[in-house]
Amino acid sequence: MRIGVLWNKLADPKNIPRLFAFSLGIILIVGLIVPMALNPDQLYPRPAPQEQIDEGLAIAPYDRGGEVLVAPGEINPQYPDNAASLGMITGYMSPLAQWISSISPYFGTSIYSSPGGLIDEILYYTRGFDTILESSILMMSFIIASWLSVNYTMNRKNDEDEIKKDFKKAITDSTHVANEVKANDIKARSKQLRRDN
Amino acid sequence: MDFVTLGGDLLGTIPLGDIVLYINPFNLFLFAVLLGFTFLIAISKPETQVEASKFNTLGVAEVKVDEKEFRQRRFLSIICGIASAGAMITGDLFNFTLFMALVGILNIGIVSAVKQTSVLNSAFNYGLIAMMCSLPLFGGAAIILASTGTLSLAVLSQMPASPMVVFGAILMLIGILGESGVAPFFASKAEMFRTPGSPFIVIIHLSSLFIIVRAVEILLLVLW
């Protein structure tokens, strides 16, 4: 194949995601042979797997210890002298979270809660200002993405014709479904009757 | 490689808890230039394109950007400029990838109100790439964190690179390549520019340019 043909194919936006996914896949496959080992000296020290669960802690596996404003939790900051009170609110839980963790042993594994949340490290005050910066960047992206989808993807104020068409389609679809359900119902009943007799 | 070798003498640090922003002439220059461009874009008005739409007659059509769309684009491009400026000066690997992801979303946002199908189509394809990019970007940063135990660039630059760090850096590189739309993944992003409203469209281009420069610096810091 001539290189010109190849370049022309690359100029089509439709082909780009496929090419990208392909090259990403190749790199990920190469990654399988790279020696991987976790460095034990981490910024966020974690207990061994299952350790906290065996101990029966209420917010296992995310119990970081520490008492709010009294004693810091188990953290290992990069620059300890930059924030003296680091880790003081690591153990904070909202009253709701405290109540749920008192009645359920699975609180630490649920993602709606503050401990064991999706972005666990960020929600704890373990890295000083980074806590605020990182989550605000992330929140900004979420806000913009949802704003875009509300205003463009889901906004259908301007295409009334299409809405009408979709209404019609939905109505015929639901009648169709209802008819099918009815037919199935009758079939099942007759089967049951036959079995009973 | 040491960041002093790469970017000139250390002018100072801004300690923010565990993130320490280091300031050297290189980063400061990128940061200031990008903020300057953002300011210029913030005070500018969109251009109007004139299209020779009717073939035989001499009729021309103006392609204008209406008021609402203009405001929205201006807002998104200002945020995009600030996010890229943040990526220029950040001293934390993970924050760099976060800024990068934010820039990707904003780039789609800037062209999302355009009414040309080809532009929207390429924006959609770029969106697919941007979604895929979150895996190599954050995955690369996570692998580097797992193998070195730190995300601070100043500390990372002093560490020798292990095979795992090299793999993490390659993953990050492919994420950056896709997200900023350089060759061979340029087509979807290049097609997005073909629409009126130039000062705001330009920030898409500008942010990827600057981020590539900064990414080269970061990869050199991590790998050497």
**pLDDT at residue A119, rounded to an integer:** 42
Q: Which residues of B touch A127 (CB under 8 A)?
A: 17-19
Distance of CA B134 to the CA centre of its chain: 14
SS3 A32: coil
Residues B179, B183: Cα–Cα separation, whole Å = 11
Indicate yes or no: CB of A39 within 8 angstroms of CB of B163: no
List all residues of chain A from 52 to 111 with a beta carbon under 8 Å from chain B.
77-79, 82-83, 86
Per-residue pLDDT for A181 more than 80? yes
Contact across the interface for B112 and A37, Cβ inside 8 Å: no
Alpha carbon distances (Å) from A125 to A91, B35, B59: 9, 30, 64
pLDDT of B124 higher than 60: yes
Q: Cβ separation of B185 and A19 shorter than 8 Å?
A: yes
pLDDT, tens only, A13-45: 888 899 899 999 999 999 999 988 888 877 767
Number of domains forming the structure of chain B: 1
The answer on pLDDT for A120 being more than 60 is no
Using CA atoms, how far apart are residues B222 and B93, in angstroms rounded to an integer? 10
ipTM: 0.85
Nearest chain B CA: its distance from A170 CA (Å): 27
Structural domain boundaries, residue B143: 3-223
The reported pLDDT for the residue numbered B18 is 74
pLDDT at residue B141 is higher than 50: yes
Taking the model in full, what pTM does it have? Answer: 0.80
Half-sphere exposure of B163 (CA within 13 A, CB side): 8
pLDDT digits (tens, 9 = 90+) for A123-168: 455 566 776 787 788 888 888 888 888 887 777 777 777 778 888 8
pLDDT score recorded for residue A126? 58
Instruction: Let me know if A63 is exposed, middle or buried by CB neighbors in 10 A (0-12, 13-18, 19+).
Output: buried
Contact between B18 and A128 under an 8 Å Cβ cutoff? The reply is yes
Residues of A in contact with B163 (CB under 8 A): 34-35
Using a CB-CB cut-off of 8 Å, the residues of chain A touching B178 are: 20, 24
Question: Which residue, chain included where needed, has tokens 């594994």?
Answer: A109
Higher-scoring residue by pLDDT: A184, A126: A184
> What dihedral angle (degrees, nearest 10) is formed by the CA atoms of B60, B204, A26, A13?
-10
